[in-house]
Amino acid sequence: MFTLPDLPYPTNALEPFIDTQTMEIHHGKHHAAYAKNLNDALPDKTEVDLEQILRTTDNPKVRNNGGGHYNHSLFWQIMCPATKSGQPEGKLIELLNSTFSDLPTFKEKFGSIALGRFGSGWAWLTVKGGQLTLEDTPNQDLPSGTPILGLDVWEHAYYLKYQNRRADYIAAWWNVVNWPEVSRRLASN
């Protein structure tokens, strides 16, 4: 059985970039529902490798709710209060520079796919075959590579504060990216 993980910070910790009410509803209602609906839909409730389940299931309820649980569990971890956001360092910045020229160009390209994802979905920085790759996915689908950074562009992630201005949400979100955690995920991949 899968359970809703606690947020690693209070719901107001990402202010003013991500507002408290959005965090309360996003984590406490949306993510909680994905976890509950995943458990309800799982035929084998003893299987614990969610990624394995998601890569092999043909049950749309498992795929959608399991993806929601998997993606949001990552999403909370790769954010943090702006004061702790830091910068990409070490191997991460080396790979970002060698792959995308420099950090501003990476952010521009990542932001562009996040903005261009029509409807609900995610933008990702993934590791695939030892390379950094940008991907975007619809709904709660997983990227094909191993995600080390992901941005939720469902309207539920930003509409209360940013309404239709997804670009403003994306620009603000960079302030609360937990770069040490992204580095850790790169190193452990």
CB closer to Mn ion out of 18 and 96: 18
Cα separation of 36 and 69, whole Å?
A: 9
| Interface size with Mn ion, residues (CB under 5 A) | 3
Q: How distant, in Å, are the alpha carbons of 20, 126, 154 from that of 189?
A: 32, 10, 27
Question: Which parts of 156-185 interact with Mn ion (CB under 5 A)?
Answer: 157
CB closer to Mn ion out of 97 and 120: 120
Q: Which residues pair with 62 in a beta bridge?
A: none
The response to whether 30 counts as a known ligand-binding position is no
Site string for Mn ion, 124-163 (x = CB under 5 A): ----------------------------x-x--x------
Site string for Mn ion, 58-77 (x = CB under 5 A): --------------------
Q: Are 19 and 160 in contact (CB under 8 A)?
A: yes
| Helix ranges (DSSP H) in 78-144 | 90-100, 103-116
The response to whether 72 counts as a known ligand-binding position is yes
Site string for Mn ion, 15-54 (x = CB under 5 A): ----------------------------------------
The response to whether 27 counts as a known ligand-binding position is no
Q: Which residue number is nearest to Mn ion in terms of Cβ?
A: 152
Q: Least distance to Mn ion from the beta carbon of 140, Å?
A: 8
Q: How distant, in Å, are the alpha carbons of 63, 78, 137 from that of 180?
A: 29, 9, 24
Cα separation of 143 and 150, whole Å?
A: 10
Q: Supply 156's token pair.
A: 């539920």
CB closer to Mn ion out of 136 and 152: 152
CB closer to Mn ion out of 95 and 157: 157
CB closer to Mn ion out of 157 and 182: 157
DSSP of 57-96: ---HHHHHHHHHHHHHHHHHHTB--GGG-----HHHHHHH
What's at 25, amino acid-wise? I
Interface residues toward Mn ion, by CB under 5 A: 152, 154, 157
